[in-house]
Amino acid sequence: MKRTPLTWYRGGGLSNLLFLTPMIIVFAVFSWSPIVRSFVMSFQKTNLITTSWVGLDNFENVLTDPLLGTAVVNTLYFAVLALIFGFPVPLLLAVLMSEVKRGKGVYSALAYLPVVIPPVVAVLLWKFFYDASPTGVFNTMLGWVGIAPQPWLQSSASAMPSLVIEATWAAAGGSIIIYLAALLSVPPELYDAAEVDGASVWRKVWHVTLPQLRGVVFIMLILQVIATAQVFLEPFLFTGGGPNNATVTVLMLIYRYAFQNSLGGNYGEATALSVMLAIVLAVLSFAYFRVTERWSST
Protein backbone atom coordinates (compact mmCIF):
# COMPACT_ATOMS: atom_id res chain seq x y z
CA MET A 1 0.00 0.00 0.00
CA LYS A 2 1.23 3.47 -0.82
CA ARG A 3 1.98 5.68 2.16
CA THR A 4 0.18 8.99 1.94
CA PRO A 5 -0.56 11.59 4.61
CA LEU A 6 -4.03 10.11 4.80
CA THR A 7 -2.86 6.55 5.55
CA TRP A 8 -0.40 8.04 8.04
CA TYR A 9 -3.23 9.84 9.80
CA ARG A 10 -5.53 6.80 9.76
CA GLY A 11 -2.75 4.60 11.12
CA GLY A 12 -2.58 6.77 14.20
CA GLY A 13 0.42 8.81 13.08
CA LEU A 14 -0.94 12.00 14.59
CA SER A 15 -1.58 10.57 18.03
CA ASN A 16 1.83 8.87 17.98
CA LEU A 17 3.35 12.26 17.37
CA LEU A 18 1.14 13.79 20.06
CA PHE A 19 2.61 11.47 22.68
CA LEU A 20 6.20 11.66 21.50
CA THR A 21 6.46 15.38 20.74
CA PRO A 22 6.97 16.57 24.36
CA MET A 23 9.86 14.17 24.75
CA ILE A 24 11.37 15.08 21.39
CA ILE A 25 11.24 18.82 22.11
CA VAL A 26 12.51 18.61 25.68
CA PHE A 27 15.34 16.24 24.77
CA ALA A 28 16.28 18.22 21.66
CA VAL A 29 16.55 21.49 23.56
CA PHE A 30 17.83 20.33 26.96
CA SER A 31 19.82 17.20 26.20
CA TRP A 32 20.77 16.41 22.61
CA SER A 33 21.70 19.88 21.41
CA PRO A 34 23.69 20.82 24.56
CA ILE A 35 25.71 17.60 24.20
CA VAL A 36 26.55 18.42 20.57
CA ARG A 37 27.13 22.06 21.45
CA SER A 38 29.58 21.06 24.15
CA PHE A 39 31.88 19.46 21.56
CA VAL A 40 31.47 22.37 19.15
CA MET A 41 32.10 25.00 21.82
CA SER A 42 35.33 23.39 22.92
CA PHE A 43 36.81 24.62 19.61
CA GLN A 44 35.32 28.11 19.91
CA LYS A 45 35.74 31.31 21.82
CA THR A 46 32.51 33.11 22.67
CA ASN A 47 31.33 36.07 24.73
CA LEU A 48 27.69 35.24 23.90
CA ILE A 49 27.54 38.01 21.27
CA THR A 50 30.33 37.05 18.89
CA THR A 51 31.73 33.57 18.43
CA SER A 52 34.92 32.58 16.63
CA TRP A 53 36.69 29.31 15.88
CA VAL A 54 39.99 28.98 17.70
CA GLY A 55 41.04 25.43 16.82
CA LEU A 56 42.75 23.66 19.69
CA ASP A 57 43.52 26.85 21.66
CA ASN A 58 41.09 26.01 24.46
CA PHE A 59 42.59 22.57 24.96
CA GLU A 60 46.07 24.04 24.91
CA ASN A 61 45.18 26.69 27.51
CA VAL A 62 43.55 24.14 29.78
CA LEU A 63 46.43 21.70 29.51
CA THR A 64 48.97 24.40 30.35
CA ASP A 65 46.97 25.68 33.34
CA PRO A 66 49.26 25.08 36.34
CA LEU A 67 46.20 24.21 38.45
CA LEU A 68 45.09 21.37 36.17
CA GLY A 69 47.71 18.95 37.48
CA THR A 70 46.69 19.72 41.06
CA ALA A 71 43.00 19.31 40.22
CA VAL A 72 43.57 15.98 38.47
CA VAL A 73 45.70 14.63 41.32
CA ASN A 74 43.14 15.82 43.90
CA THR A 75 40.27 14.24 41.98
CA LEU A 76 42.18 10.97 41.70
CA TYR A 77 43.01 11.16 45.41
CA PHE A 78 39.33 11.69 46.22
CA ALA A 79 38.34 8.76 43.99
CA VAL A 80 40.92 6.42 45.52
CA LEU A 81 40.04 7.39 49.10
CA ALA A 82 36.36 7.02 48.27
CA LEU A 83 37.07 3.50 47.04
CA ILE A 84 39.09 2.62 50.14
CA PHE A 85 36.54 4.03 52.61
CA GLY A 86 33.35 3.74 50.68
CA PHE A 87 33.64 0.40 49.03
CA PRO A 88 34.30 -2.35 51.62
CA VAL A 89 32.18 -0.83 54.40
CA PRO A 90 28.77 -0.92 52.64
CA LEU A 91 29.53 -4.41 51.31
CA LEU A 92 30.38 -5.70 54.77
CA LEU A 93 27.34 -4.01 56.32
CA ALA A 94 25.06 -5.44 53.64
CA VAL A 95 26.38 -8.98 54.17
CA LEU A 96 25.84 -8.65 57.94
CA MET A 97 22.42 -7.03 57.53
CA SER A 98 21.27 -9.79 55.19
CA GLU A 99 21.74 -12.27 58.04
CA VAL A 100 19.41 -10.32 60.34
CA LYS A 101 16.17 -12.24 60.60
CA ARG A 102 13.89 -9.84 62.43
CA GLY A 103 13.48 -6.09 61.88
CA LYS A 104 15.31 -6.02 58.58
CA GLY A 105 13.25 -3.02 57.51
CA VAL A 106 14.44 -0.97 60.48
CA TYR A 107 18.06 -1.70 59.63
CA SER A 108 17.58 -0.73 55.99
CA ALA A 109 15.75 2.46 56.94
CA LEU A 110 18.48 3.49 59.39
CA ALA A 111 21.17 2.84 56.81
CA TYR A 112 19.31 4.75 54.11
CA LEU A 113 18.44 7.80 56.24
CA PRO A 114 21.65 9.77 55.46
CA VAL A 115 20.97 9.37 51.72
CA VAL A 116 17.67 11.21 52.12
CA ILE A 117 19.21 14.29 53.76
CA PRO A 118 19.86 16.98 51.14
CA PRO A 119 23.63 17.02 50.48
CA VAL A 120 23.90 20.74 51.16
CA VAL A 121 22.44 20.28 54.63
CA ALA A 122 24.70 17.29 55.29
CA VAL A 123 27.82 19.18 54.24
CA LEU A 124 26.98 22.28 56.29
CA LEU A 125 26.19 20.13 59.31
CA TRP A 126 29.41 18.16 58.99
CA LYS A 127 31.33 21.39 58.56
CA PHE A 128 30.23 22.24 62.07
CA PHE A 129 31.11 18.73 63.30
CA TYR A 130 34.60 19.18 61.81
CA ASP A 131 35.24 22.29 63.94
CA ALA A 132 38.98 22.20 64.57
CA SER A 133 38.85 23.57 68.12
CA PRO A 134 39.12 21.06 71.00
CA THR A 135 35.38 21.55 71.70
CA GLY A 136 34.41 20.63 68.13
CA VAL A 137 31.99 17.70 67.90
CA PHE A 138 34.42 15.17 66.43
CA ASN A 139 37.34 16.46 68.45
CA THR A 140 35.34 16.03 71.66
CA MET A 141 34.61 12.44 70.64
CA LEU A 142 38.29 11.83 69.89
CA GLY A 143 39.07 13.28 73.31
CA TRP A 144 37.02 10.47 74.93
CA VAL A 145 39.49 7.91 73.61
CA GLY A 146 42.50 10.10 74.28
CA ILE A 147 43.26 11.29 70.76
CA ALA A 148 44.47 14.88 70.32
CA PRO A 149 42.22 17.34 68.42
CA GLN A 150 42.56 17.10 64.64
CA PRO A 151 42.62 20.07 62.25
CA TRP A 152 40.14 18.32 59.86
CA LEU A 153 39.32 20.80 57.08
CA GLN A 154 41.97 23.31 58.17
CA SER A 155 45.04 21.41 57.03
CA SER A 156 45.84 20.42 53.48
CA ALA A 157 46.79 16.92 54.63
CA SER A 158 43.52 16.06 56.37
CA ALA A 159 41.07 18.15 54.31
CA MET A 160 40.53 15.63 51.52
CA PRO A 161 40.09 12.58 53.81
CA SER A 162 37.56 14.62 55.81
CA LEU A 163 35.59 15.34 52.64
CA VAL A 164 35.65 11.67 51.69
CA ILE A 165 34.43 10.52 55.11
CA GLU A 166 31.38 12.76 54.81
CA ALA A 167 30.76 11.72 51.19
CA THR A 168 30.99 8.07 52.20
CA TRP A 169 28.54 8.57 55.06
CA ALA A 170 26.15 10.31 52.68
CA ALA A 171 26.29 7.64 49.98
CA ALA A 172 26.81 4.34 51.82
CA GLY A 173 23.07 3.74 52.38
CA GLY A 174 22.37 3.61 48.66
CA SER A 175 25.09 1.01 48.05
CA ILE A 176 23.92 -1.05 51.03
CA ILE A 177 20.39 -1.28 49.64
CA ILE A 178 21.71 -2.32 46.23
CA TYR A 179 23.96 -5.02 47.73
CA LEU A 180 21.08 -6.25 49.91
CA ALA A 181 18.93 -6.67 46.82
CA ALA A 182 21.76 -8.56 45.11
CA LEU A 183 22.29 -10.80 48.17
CA LEU A 184 18.63 -11.84 48.01
CA SER A 185 19.22 -13.25 44.55
CA VAL A 186 22.04 -15.58 45.62
CA PRO A 187 20.51 -19.06 45.15
CA PRO A 188 20.19 -20.75 48.57
CA GLU A 189 21.10 -24.10 46.99
CA LEU A 190 24.67 -22.85 46.62
CA TYR A 191 24.95 -22.52 50.39
CA ASP A 192 23.37 -25.94 50.85
CA ALA A 193 25.89 -27.41 48.46
CA ALA A 194 28.80 -25.67 50.19
CA GLU A 195 27.65 -27.11 53.52
CA VAL A 196 27.50 -30.61 52.08
CA ASP A 197 31.16 -30.07 51.23
CA GLY A 198 31.73 -29.05 54.85
CA ALA A 199 32.37 -25.31 54.29
CA SER A 200 32.59 -23.07 57.36
CA VAL A 201 30.74 -19.76 57.62
CA TRP A 202 33.78 -17.79 56.45
CA ARG A 203 34.40 -20.09 53.52
CA LYS A 204 30.77 -19.71 52.49
CA VAL A 205 31.15 -15.92 52.50
CA TRP A 206 34.39 -16.07 50.57
CA HIS A 207 33.56 -18.82 48.07
CA VAL A 208 29.83 -18.35 47.56
CA THR A 209 28.56 -14.91 48.59
CA LEU A 210 31.31 -12.68 47.24
CA PRO A 211 31.69 -14.45 43.87
CA GLN A 212 27.91 -14.28 43.43
CA LEU A 213 28.00 -10.52 44.02
CA ARG A 214 30.80 -10.06 41.49
CA GLY A 215 28.60 -8.59 38.76
CA VAL A 216 27.00 -5.98 41.01
CA VAL A 217 30.33 -5.13 42.61
CA PHE A 218 31.95 -4.51 39.21
CA ILE A 219 29.15 -2.17 38.16
CA MET A 220 29.10 -0.32 41.46
CA LEU A 221 32.85 0.23 41.23
CA ILE A 222 32.76 1.90 37.83
CA LEU A 223 29.65 3.94 38.70
CA GLN A 224 31.42 5.17 41.81
CA VAL A 225 34.51 6.14 39.82
CA ILE A 226 32.39 8.05 37.29
CA ALA A 227 30.57 9.84 40.11
CA THR A 228 33.70 10.71 42.08
CA ALA A 229 35.44 12.02 38.96
CA GLN A 230 32.72 14.69 38.90
CA VAL A 231 32.81 15.58 42.59
CA PHE A 232 31.91 19.20 43.22
CA LEU A 233 29.59 19.83 46.13
CA GLU A 234 31.86 18.66 48.95
CA PRO A 235 35.00 20.63 48.01
CA PHE A 236 32.90 23.64 46.95
CA LEU A 237 30.97 23.95 50.22
CA PHE A 238 33.45 22.48 52.72
CA THR A 239 36.66 24.18 51.70
CA GLY A 240 36.11 26.16 48.49
CA GLY A 241 39.08 24.24 47.09
CA GLY A 242 41.46 25.16 49.93
CA PRO A 243 43.49 25.01 52.02
CA ASN A 244 46.29 25.70 49.56
CA ASN A 245 44.30 24.24 46.64
CA ALA A 246 44.40 20.86 48.38
CA THR A 247 40.78 20.14 47.47
CA VAL A 248 40.41 21.77 44.04
CA THR A 249 38.79 19.16 41.77
CA VAL A 250 38.38 19.00 38.00
CA LEU A 251 34.72 19.99 38.13
CA MET A 252 35.57 22.94 40.39
CA LEU A 253 38.08 24.06 37.79
CA ILE A 254 35.36 23.83 35.09
CA TYR A 255 33.04 25.83 37.32
CA ARG A 256 35.72 28.49 37.86
CA TYR A 257 36.46 28.81 34.14
CA ALA A 258 32.81 29.25 33.27
CA PHE A 259 31.18 31.01 36.19
CA GLN A 260 33.77 32.59 38.49
CA ASN A 261 35.79 34.45 35.94
CA SER A 262 36.08 38.20 36.48
CA LEU A 263 36.70 38.66 32.73
CA GLY A 264 33.38 36.98 31.84
CA GLY A 265 32.77 33.28 31.46
CA ASN A 266 35.45 31.39 29.60
CA TYR A 267 32.97 28.91 28.16
CA GLY A 268 35.35 27.53 25.55
CA GLU A 269 37.94 26.38 28.07
CA ALA A 270 35.25 25.08 30.43
CA THR A 271 33.71 22.90 27.72
CA ALA A 272 37.15 21.79 26.51
CA LEU A 273 37.94 20.48 29.99
CA SER A 274 34.48 18.84 30.32
CA VAL A 275 34.93 17.11 26.98
CA MET A 276 38.37 15.84 27.97
CA LEU A 277 36.99 14.53 31.27
CA ALA A 278 34.11 12.82 29.46
CA ILE A 279 36.49 11.19 26.99
CA VAL A 280 38.75 9.94 29.78
CA LEU A 281 35.71 8.48 31.57
CA ALA A 282 34.42 6.87 28.38
CA VAL A 283 37.79 5.24 27.63
CA LEU A 284 38.10 4.14 31.24
CA SER A 285 34.61 2.57 31.34
CA PHE A 286 35.18 0.84 28.01
CA ALA A 287 38.51 -0.63 29.12
CA TYR A 288 36.98 -1.57 32.47
CA PHE A 289 34.09 -3.46 30.90
CA ARG A 290 36.43 -5.29 28.53
CA VAL A 291 38.60 -6.42 31.43
CA THR A 292 35.80 -7.32 33.85
CA GLU A 293 33.99 -9.18 31.08
CA ARG A 294 36.99 -11.48 30.81
CA TRP A 295 37.09 -11.96 34.60
CA SER A 296 33.37 -12.58 34.84
CA SER A 297 33.41 -15.28 32.18
CA THR A 298 36.23 -17.32 33.67
Partner 1 sequence: MSDTDRGILSTFDRRGRGVRAGMSFVHVLLFGGLVVAGLGPILWLGKAAVTSTQDTITQPIALWPHGIDWANLTQAWFEVHIDQYFLNTVVIAVGSWLFSLALATTAGYGLSVLRPRYAGILNGAVLATLFVPSVVLLVPLYLTIVHPPVGQSLLNNYLAVWLPAAANAFNILLVKRFFDNLPREVFEAARTDGAGPIRLFWSIVLPMSRPILGVVSVFAIIASLKDYLWPMLVLPDPAVQPLGVRLPAIQSQVELDVFLAALAISTIIPIVLFLAFQRVFLRSAGLGGAVKG
- The CA radius of gyration of the chain, in Å to the nearest whole number, is 25
Question: Is the CB of residue 182 less than 8 Å from the CB of residue 204?
Answer: no
Check binding of 191 to partner 1 (CB under 8 A).
yes
CA dihedral over 43, 46, 48, 49, signed as positive or negative = negative
Check binding of 249 to partner 1 (CB under 8 A).
no
Shortest Cβ distance from residue 87 to partner 1 (Å)?
14
Q: Out of 68, 83, 177, 221, which residue is the one contacting partner 1 (CB under 8 A)?
A: 177
Shortest Cβ distance from residue 109 to partner 1 (Å)?
6
Shortest Cβ distance from residue 111 to partner 1 (Å)?
6
Residue of 263, 262, 258 whose CA lies nearest to 62: 258
Q: Out of 204, 224, 225, 245, which residue is the one contacting partner 1 (CB under 8 A)?
A: 204
Would you call 44 helix, strand, or coil by DSSP?
Answer: strand
Phi, psi of 232 (to 5 degrees): -140, -50
Shortest Cβ distance from residue 113 to partner 1 (Å)?
4
Shortest Cβ distance from residue 116 to partner 1 (Å)?
4
As beta bridge partners, residue 45 has 52
Q: Which of residues 124-163 bind partner 1 (CB under 8 A)?
A: 124-126, 128-129, 131, 135-137, 140-141
Check binding of 210 to partner 1 (CB under 8 A).
no
CA–CA gap between residue 235 and residue 251 (Å, rounded): 10
CA–CA gap between residue 61 and residue 66 (Å, rounded): 10
**Which H or E run contains 53?**
strand 51-53
Check binding of 29 to partner 1 (CB under 8 A).
yes
Check binding of 181 to partner 1 (CB under 8 A).
yes
Q: Which of residues 250-269 bind partner 1 (CB under 8 A)?
A: 251, 254-255, 258-259, 265, 267
